[in-house]
Amino acid sequence: MTRWLSSIRNSEALGSVAIFALLFATYFVLKGCRYSFFEAGNLATNVLPLVVVGLAQYFVVLVRGIDLSLGPIMAVSGSLAAVLFPLGIVPAIAIALAAGVLAGALNGLLIARLSLSPIVVTLATMSVWDGVALIVLPVPGGTIPAFLQAVLTSEPALLPMSLILLVGFALLGTWIMSTRFGLQLRAIGGDEIAAEASGVKVARIRFFAYVLAGFLAACAGLYFAISTMAGSPIIGDGYVLPSIGAVVLGGVPLIGGRGSPIGVVMGALILTIIGSLLYFADLADFYQSLINGVILIVVVGAAAVRDWAREALAR
Amino acid sequence: MSESTTSAPGEDRQRALRAFLAARAAPLASLAVILLMLVVCNVMAPGFVSVTNTMHIAQLSAFLGIAAIGQTLVILSGGIDLSIAWTITGTACVYAQVSQGRPAMLLLGLAAALATGLVIGLVNGIGVSKFRISPIVMTLGMNNVIQGATLLYTDGTPSGGVADEGRFFATGFIGPFSVLVLLWIALSIAVIVILRVTRGGRQLLGVGENPLVSYLSGVRNDRVLIAVYGLSGLSAALAGVLYASFSGASFLGMGDTFVLPAIAAVVIGGASIYGGRGGYGGTIIGAFFLTLLTTLLSIVNFSAGARGVIYGGVIIAALLLNRFTQGAAR
Amino acid sequence: MLSIRGIDKRFGATHAVRDVSFDAARGQVLGLVGENGAGKSTVIRMVAGVVAPDQGSIHLDGNRLALRSPSDALTHGIDSVFQELALIGNLTVADNLFLLKAPKHRWLSIDRRRAIREASEILERYQLDIAPTARVRDLPLGQRQMIEIVRSVERDPTVLVLDEATSSLGQSEVSWLARLVRKLRDAERIVLFISHRWDEIATFCDRVAVMRNGRLVEVADRPAMPQDRAVRLMTGRDTSGGFPPKVPPREGTLLGVDNLEGPMLSRTTFSLAPGEILGLGGLVGQGQTELLRALFGVLPLRGGSVALKGRPLRLRGPRDAIGAGIAYVPLERKSEGVFLDKSVAFNMTFASLALGWLSSWFGLIRFRKERATVAEAIDRLKIRTRSGHTPIRALSGGNQQKVLLEKWLQMRPAVLLLDDVTRGVDISTKHQIYELVRALAREGVGVIFYSSDTYELVGLADRVLVMADGEIRKSLAGSELSSAAIVDAAFGSRVGS
């Protein structure tokens, strides 16, 4: 436990944890202090897809990339699962996740192997996977076994399943970053040329960062489809900006090399709670996108200002 | 260091020609595909290639081409502008709502819409240059901000309209020539002239290829970037106004279909996505190519999904073509 | 045995390495010497897998190696330490040491505690007093270089390549390395050693290979290769001569620098006379580049003042400096000097255009005037290019440098700042640059130039300021000015540290 605490303290996530705590307290008070595991579970259910797709974006940003196709990959995986569930639960899930891995591998091939621009490549694959999702499932629907949703809403060990999954994905991310792969991801983001010269197989590691991102996005899409009891070919659009937002809010600079998965989880929580607070404040949906945009710009801009200040002090 | 620096003029010319072709592989290839598509269409539907039809496709290309002016400049500067989706929608809504379909209010609406676009672009430029926010985050965030602002402004349902006098610019004809196409040609000439023969154009290409070198040479990079994003906002606003004039009204999400094609047109035009290399001429071909492709795909009844896949595939193909003909120079 | 067989490499117009072959036996330390741009770094980079040879082959213990990347070289036991460091600044010392192979804990997780413990054991074994948890970015250059050497030696390579790996080491650190190299020799390892300092070649190496203009001129046992012979082979001339005659500077002060404080600079005070060529010396990275950049307005100053012809300057950016008549040719030609994709003409007139010359109303470029200016400059400076339209990347380093110089000469600067501009430039161009700089000085231009080559400092400068730790340690002029005096002053602060 102390190790956990110290790892949070040492990371750049501290600010995000503080903001989250503040927002969570506000949320709690507004809710009239009726805090319960049900509430926490509810929040976890809402935030989980964003956490997972945010983690996906995190691994790509870590190696100085960006992936705009993660949302559409979610849509493909969710739609595939919704269409394929009649064939059996296991093959449906396997194919849905494999689609994510494949999509990530395509991005990785074009970006890491052929050194094409991440922005344009993923813009293009965004269009491709958006199209594929529409072909697989032209309108939201499909069949999701009720049993799966029951599993997701169950409360093993008195804890809501979604909360367990949330912690699980956070641990998964932290574990990946504790391996040699994670260390090399940070090395590439820190100084690509030095990493290459040190013997790190930069192209291969970067490729796997995109594959991992594709896989995680597919997980997020699958979860979204199951929890809403339907596949949807168009859910992706709503996740492109927030996934980057979660990464940025989590204290991860877009030039890569730094930041922790816990920070990203916090970033996702912050964005989601802000959404809930807006709902409570009875503000129209319109504000959500406006505020998301403003937050993203302000946070990145503030980081730039902070860096200047730090430079000025270091002088 | 001792190799000969003199070579036969023939060899020189050949080398120059090869370099010229390599730098324009993607636009030339798409030009070839355009011709191929036209031939195939004419065979399958005789009479497809007519003056009226060509003019019609050119007219449709003009919206994309004008929206892509700013994108070309931004990409040449080494950035990207993802905010044009809602800039187009937002400014179209401003135009329609301010002018209220009344001829007398047309100019006021136009001025309001263009000013809105310009301000959006300038803010993008300030964020990118002064605050060093990465272009993708700045413009993606800005896109969301405008989306929210537009929804608030229109309260979710755009109102107003465009008077017939205004629609003339988008739908009118002078003889066999569409007014819109003539406008596009005039703008194209202006952009190409600015890029090729002015100081500002040189500076833009310099900033795009290597901002550090350009800064160390005494260029005020921030001004160049602010101007470029400002122009991008302006060109998106113009596209929005024209598109609203064409449709007679504004509607939410009307700009969404422009972002990817605008970037694609620039990439197909052979510009380097890392900045500093390319021009507007290629973008014109790219815009025409994509419009023709979209038209054909909808004629042969491809679903929206299949169109998305083909669109993405075309962009990747263009990227690969640029990559292998121009080298992977970043 | 490491055998290099007929390797050859071209970069655009530069034929960097021509048909080089040599052997290095096990237990041998081979020194590779040559002037800047002689091609020794390219040879080493091919051995290290950083660049692939166009022709020829590399064999180790009889096996032909196909090296496509540094990691390929590593798997064959070839490990290299370059002057540009290959450590990742935002990671800790321990992370850098275990980047490829770390102690595992459970489920592939790196055992941090053990990694730190093992790292401190390693550092102790090599007598380095560095905390394993320190971020590499925060360490001084010399320590970083030592960590990198340790990292390579720890991997127990068959071939260890040290490319200018001593450039920021002090004397005690160099003797530390000498002990290390001796141990490797005793363990039958092969060491390839590149250095600019002859005394290091003398103490480290068993054999010496001399390169000039991309060719291997001679390989001989160390005793058969005294310094003067090596220098003659390297330069193709005797040690003396090759520089234009010095002209005494004019009276007065052109540039007055008073108590500058800034990043890597402290209490820097000096003045520059009109027509004076002022050299900056010292070890690599002691604040010389920072000083030049501060004078060009690129680095923000914490204190002090700069005055040109008695008028104080406000330097908020290059534009202010340029406006006042100060020009700067940067150290990194490829990343800071030229637009590689653009033509000779584009590069040559870029600054003038930015200042508004060569353009008329609405910023329209005056093409005819531009063409004439460019053609005249190509002719005057004997720039080897097909035409002004040729992409500058097709030119050799020396010719690129001439284009860059011309870019600033067009604005007729009062003060010219040169940041190691002859590095990687061929000899004949170097001499042209020396002549050019001297001619400018004769016209009254003040020149401040940093060079990593002491020979050049002694030959060209009227006065040399030796810098260490961001301070001017010594000013040498007239009869005091010699290579030995510069080296002494440069190391002065480090002896015994």
pLDDT at position A32 is 62
Q: What crossing angle do the helices spanning B84-99 and B135-154 adopt, rounded to 10°?
A: 30
C353 and C292 in a single domain? The answer is: yes
Q: Do B210 and C330 touch (CB under 8 A)?
A: no
Q: Do A199 and C95 touch (CB under 8 A)?
A: no
pLDDT exceeds 50 at position A9: no
What is the widest separation between alpha-carbon atoms in chain C?
74
Residues of A in contact with C161 (CB under 8 A): none
Decide if C355 touches B, using CB distance below 8 A.
yes
Once rounded to an integer, what is the mean pLDDT over residues A13-24? Answer: 73
pLDDT at position C70 is 86
pLDDT at position C495 is 38
**pLDDT tens per residue, range C452-478:** 778 888 889 999 999 988 889 889 988
Residues for chain A: how many in total?
315
Q: How far apart are CA C191 and CA C162, in angstroms?
A: 7
Hey, what are C207's tokens?
């054999």
Q: Does residue C250 lie in a domain region? A: no
Q: Do C90 and A196 touch (CB under 8 A)?
A: no
**pLDDT tens per residue, range C178-211:** 899 999 999 999 999 988 777 788 888 999 999 8
Q: Range with the lowest mean pLDDT among A231-235, B259-263, C57-61, C444-448? A: A231-235
With CA atoms as reference, the chain B residue closest to A233 would be B305
- Pick the residue with more confidence: A51 or B47? A51
Q: How far apart are CA A51 and CA A265, in angstroms?
A: 5
Q: Looking at the complex, report in whole angstroms how far the Cα of residue A61 sits from the nearest Cα belonging to chain C.
A: 16
For residue B137, give the nearest of A117, A244, A288 by CB distance.
A244
C174 and C318 in a single domain? The answer is: no
Contact A140, A233 (CB under 8 A): yes
Contact C416, C440 (CB under 8 A): yes
* Domains observed in chain B: 29-40+49-323 (1.10.3470)
* Average pLDDT across chain C, whole number: 86
Q: How many CB atoms lie within 10 A of CB C176?
A: 17
Residues of B in contact with C317 (CB under 8 A): 215
pLDDT at position B245 is 92
Residues of C in contact with A184 (CB under 8 A): 99
Q: Do B137 and A126 touch (CB under 8 A)?
A: no
DSSP category for residue A110:
I
Q: Looking at the complex, report in whole angstroms how far the Cα of residue A252 sits from the nearest Cα belonging to chain C.
A: 13
Q: How far apart are CA B278 and CA B284, in angstroms?
A: 12
Q: Which CATH number does the domain housing residue A48 bear?
A: 1.10.3470
Quote the Cα angle for A196-A197-A201, to 5°. 30
Q: Do B140 and A135 touch (CB under 8 A)?
A: no
CA B141 remoteness from chain centre: 20
Task: Provide the residue range defining the domain that includes A62.
Answer: 2-314
Residues of C in contact with B327 (CB under 8 A): none
Q: Does residue C349 lie in a domain region? A: yes
Task: Identify the three-state secondary structure at position B247.
Answer: helix
For residue C342, give the nearest of B197, B209, B218 by CB distance.
B209
Contact A84, A95 (CB under 8 A): yes
Q: How far apart are CA A36 and CA B310, in angstroms?
A: 49
Contact A216, A284 (CB under 8 A): no
Quote the Cα angle for C423-C424-C426, to 5°. 110
**pLDDT tens per residue, range A93-147:** 999 999 999 999 999 999 999 989 899 999 999 999 999 999 999 888 888 888 8
Residues of A in contact with B138 (CB under 8 A): 297, 300
pLDDT at position B217 is 93
Residues of A in contact with B134 (CB under 8 A): 254, 300
Once rounded to an integer, what is the mean pLDDT over residues C15-38? Answer: 87
pLDDT at position A312 is 56
| Region of residue B327 (left: phi > 0; alpha: psi -120 to 50; beta: else) | left
Q: Does residue C247 lie in a domain region? A: no
Residues of B in contact with A128 (CB under 8 A): 308-309, 311-313
Task: Provide the residue range defining the domain that includes C37.
Answer: 2-235
Q: Does residue C359 lie in a domain region? A: yes
pLDDT exceeds 60 at position A1: no
C182 and C278 in a single domain? The answer is: no
Once rounded to an integer, what is the mean pLDDT over residues A232-236? Answer: 86
Q: Looking at the complex, report in whole angstroms how far the Cα of residue C52 sits from the nearest Cα belonging to chain A.
A: 14
pLDDT at position B329 is 40
Q: Looking at the complex, report in whole angstroms how far the Cα of residue A159 sits from the nearest Cα belonging to chain C.
A: 26
Per-residue pLDDT of chain B (330 residues; tens, 9 = 90+): 333 344 445 666 777 777 777 777 778 888 888 888 888 878 877 777 788 888 888 999 999 999 999 999 999 999 999 999 999 999 999 999 998 888 888 899 999 999 999 999 999 999 999 988 889 989 999 999 999 999 999 988 888 888 888 888 888 888 888 899 999 999 999 999 999 999 999 999 999 999 999 999 999 999 999 999 999 999 999 999 999 999 888 889 899 889 999 999 999 888 888 888 889 999 999 999 999 888 888 888 888 899 889 989 998 998 888 888 775 443
Write b or e for each residue in A220-251: b if 16 or more Cβ atoms lie within 10 A of its Cβ, otherwise e.
bbbbbbbbbebbbbbbbebbbbbbbbbbbbbb
Q: How confident is the model at residue A72 (pLDDT cuts 50, 70, 90)?
A: very high
What percent of chain C shows pLDDT beyond 90? Answer: 39
Q: How far apart are CA B92 and CA B248, in angstroms?
A: 10
**pLDDT tens per residue, range C306-315:** 999 989 999 8
**pLDDT tens per residue, range C162-179:** 988 776 677 778 888 989
Decide if B215 touches C, using CB distance below 8 A.
yes
Decide if C365 touches A, using CB distance below 8 A.
no
**pLDDT tens per residue, range C383-416:** 888 888 888 988 877 889 999 999 999 989 999 9
What is the widest separation between alpha-carbon atoms in chain B?
74
The number of folded domains in chain C is 2
Q: How far apart are CA C415 and CA B313, in angstroms?
A: 55
DSSP string, B165-219: HHHHHHH-EETTEEHHHHHHHHHHHHHHHHHHHBHHHHHHHHHHH-HHHHHHTT-
Interface A–C counts its CB contacts (< 8 A) at 78
Q: Among C186, C203, C235, which residue terminates a domain?
A: C235
Q: Do B316 and A294 touch (CB under 8 A)?
A: no
The number of folded domains in chain A is 1
Inter-CA distances, B177 with A23, B42, B59, B290, Å: 60, 22, 10, 21
pLDDT exceeds 80 at position A67: yes
pLDDT exceeds 60 at position A10: no
pLDDT at position B309 is 93
Residue A61's H or E segment, with its range, is helix A37-62
Contact C162, C4 (CB under 8 A): no
pLDDT at position C67 is 87
Hey, what are B202's tokens?
């040189």
* Gyration radius of chain C over CA positions: 24
Residues of A in contact with C80 (CB under 8 A): 197
- Pick the residue with more confidence: A35 or C270? C270
**pLDDT tens per residue, range A132-173:** 999 999 888 888 888 888 888 777 777 788 888 999 999 999
**pLDDT tens per residue, range C87-140:** 998 899 999 998 888 777 778 888 888 889 999 999 999 988 899 999 998 887
Q: Which CATH number does the domain housing residue C265 bear?
A: 3.40.50.300
Q: How far apart are CA C310 and CA C306, in angstroms?
A: 9
User: Residue B50, class by beta-carbon neighbours within 10 Å (0-12 exposed, 13-18 middle, 19+ buried)?
Assistant: exposed
Decide if C334 touches A, using CB distance below 8 A.
no
Q: Does residue C104 lie in a domain region? A: yes
Decide if C385 touches B, using CB distance below 8 A.
yes
Decide if C37 touches B, using CB distance below 8 A.
no
Q: Do B323 and A117 touch (CB under 8 A)?
A: no
Task: Identify the three-state secondary structure at position C132.
Answer: coil
Q: Do C90 and A186 touch (CB under 8 A)?
A: yes
DSSP category for residue A198:
T
For residue B209, give the nearest of C330, C339, C363 by CB distance.
C339
Which of A67, A83, A120, A134 is the best substitution to test chain B (most B C-beta atoms within 10 A)? A120
Q: How far apart are CA A268 and CA A260, in angstroms?
A: 13
Dihedral of alpha carbons C396, C399, C401, C407, sign: negative
pLDDT at position C140 is 79
- Pick the residue with more confidence: C258 or B156? C258
C260 and C352 in a single domain? The answer is: yes
List residues bridging with C446 in a β-sheet: C415
Write b or e for each residue in C27-40: b if 16 or more Cβ atoms lie within 10 A of its Cβ, otherwise e.
ebbbbbbbbbbbbb
| Region of residue C382 (left: phi > 0; alpha: psi -120 to 50; beta: else) | left
Q: Do B217 and C351 touch (CB under 8 A)?
A: yes
Q: Do B141 and A114 touch (CB under 8 A)?
A: no
With CA atoms as reference, the chain C residue closest to B277 would be C341
